[in-house]
Each structure stands twice: as C-alpha cells, then as structure tokens.
Amino acid sequence: MSLVTSLDSGVSALESFSKGLQVIGNNIANVNTTGYKSSSTSYADSFSNTLQAASPGTDTAAMQIGTGVQVSGINSDFTQGSLVSTGNVGDLAVSGNGYFVVKDSATSATYATRDGSFSFNSAGNLVNAEGYAVLDSTGAAVSISNCVSSTGATITYADTSSFTIGTDGTLTAYDSAGTAYAGQKVGLISVLNQSKLLNEGNNLFDFSATGSTLASNLAAANTGSLGKIQSGNLEQSNVDLTAQFASMITAQRSFQAASRVITISDTILNDIVNLKNQ
C-alpha cells in the first residue's frame, strides 16, 4: 500500500510542479509586457494518512505518512515596475499607487489597468489599444471636446495642435495660436484588495471583487494615497529574470525528483509482482 501511495505522491508532485513551471513560463513570456505583474506559486502538503494518533499524557507520538503536494496559491507581485520614457505624450504611467480605469462602450464593463498606452481617436476621445475609453476622476470619458479656454471657448480634436497631461492628470489642449484649453483630469482608482484582481487579458483587470467602486475609490491622480501620472512614460513589467530562472531550475529539479520517485516505485512494484515467478 505504501508503494502505491508513493506513486500518488509522485504524480501529485508532477502536477503541482507543472503548474509552477507554467507560472514561471508566463512570467518570462511577459517580461516586456507593459504594466505586467509577475506571479509566484506556493505549495502545501496534502492530507496525511495517520498510522498512529498521539495520545495525551503519554509518550506516544503521532505517526503519519503524507500523500503528496498541492498548489496552495498563485500570488501576484504588485510592486511597481520601472518607468521608461517613450517620448509620446499620450503614454501615461502611474508613479505610486492607483490604476487607470477604462470602459468598454459596447458592454459598459470597466477595467483597471497599469498599462497607460493611450492615444486619441478620430473623435478626440482618449482610448487604450483596444479602443476602450479612459475615464476621468468623475467616471466620464476623457475627451478633447471637453476642454475649455479661459474665455469659455471649446476646441475640436481637428483644431488641436498639441496637448499635455499633468502629474495630476489634467488634460490641456492647445490650438495653433497657442491658446490653452483646460480639460478633465485622468482618473485613478485605489484598489482596496489587489490580491482579488482578476486578470482579463490585454493588461486589464476586473476589480469588481476587490471592494473598490468608481463612486468611492476613483479620484484624480496625486490626491490621497494615489500616485502621480508621468506623461511620456510607460511602466515596464516587474518580472525579475534572474529570480525567474532560479525558480525555474528549482522547479525543474523538483519535477525530475518526482519523476524518479515514480520510476523507482514502479520498479519495486514490478519486482514484487515477479516474485511469484521466481
């Protein structure tokens, strides 16, 4: 029975370390992904078969045999990645806490993201790579058409010669004459429990389970605990390749050891079966 259990333990290790290698592989694959947050795998022992229970008031110690290993958690590292200058004013990075919020107009779904690869579309709306609208500090879509001069005049995207975005997220458009038109502030949301962020792909997170809401946690950058917005910069992945390769070697060796346990157990069981023929 114990040899059969050793096979089960080896198989559980292969399954668990395979998942760990998948996590490491995904981290390495996203080393150049803007705003990507690396993940790590933690393990826990499985249920143990008790051969002898401990008795109170005696010297009897518990005797247990474990049945293998299991993945206890896959945890994301939300520390900030380095900021790299792109020279593109529309590229935004958050220096500190907070996430940009984008909205899919087709489904009205909102997502949090650290990827500030934004640009203006033909309608003058600030959007991400998927065309989702970037929201301001009040939850409205950021648009050039909402920029107003000191005299109350508005400006169209076609008449905009340049624009800037300040550290507090304020959008300012300029016409060919150099007249400034002040606009909305790009909003940031404070995520209360980042471990509950659900990765939706395309550098987007579903934050509905974190306890954060647009009504309560969306505000202008550089207010409260929210960080500053750095225009012309993008946040890089926080993947540490050195650490990932070290973890990969450890997981690989563990996988090989588990494979060896299965091979040896199978060999011994085969010998036992063949005893009848000897």
> Which of 102, 121, 100, 127 has its CA nearest to residue 229?
100
**Both structure tokens of 35:** 């705003």
pLDDT digits (tens, 9 = 90+) for 215-267: 999 999 999 999 999 999 999 999 999 999 999 999 999 999 999 988 988 88
pLDDT averaged over every residue in the chain: 93
- Interatomic CA distance for residues 229 and 243, integer angstroms: 29
pLDDT digits (tens, 9 = 90+) for 12-29: 999 999 999 999 999 999
pLDDT digits (tens, 9 = 90+) for 164-216: 999 999 999 999 999 999 999 999 999 999 999 999 999 999 999 999 999 99
Q: What per-residue confidence (pLDDT) applies to 64?
A: 81
**Can you tell me whether residue 49 is helix, strand or coil?**
strand
> Which of 76, 30, 74 has its CA nearest to residue 202?
30
Q: Model confidence at 1, in pLDDT bands (50, 70, 90)? A: very low
Average pLDDT (118-125) is: 95
pLDDT digits (tens, 9 = 90+) for 14-67: 999 999 999 999 999 999 999 999 999 999 988 877 778 887 878 788 888 888
Q: What per-residue confidence (pLDDT) applies to 3?
A: 66
Q: Which residue has the higher pLDDT, 133 or 50?
A: 133
Which residue, chain included where needed, has tokens 């002040």? 182
Could you list the beta-strand ranges (E) of 123-241: 126-127, 133-134, 162-165, 170-174, 180-185, 187-189, 198-201, 204-206, 218-220, 228-231, 233-235
**Can you tell me whether residue 3 is helix, strand or coil?**
helix
- Interatomic CA distance for residues 77 and 233, integer angstroms: 21
Q: What is the pTM of this model?
A: 0.87
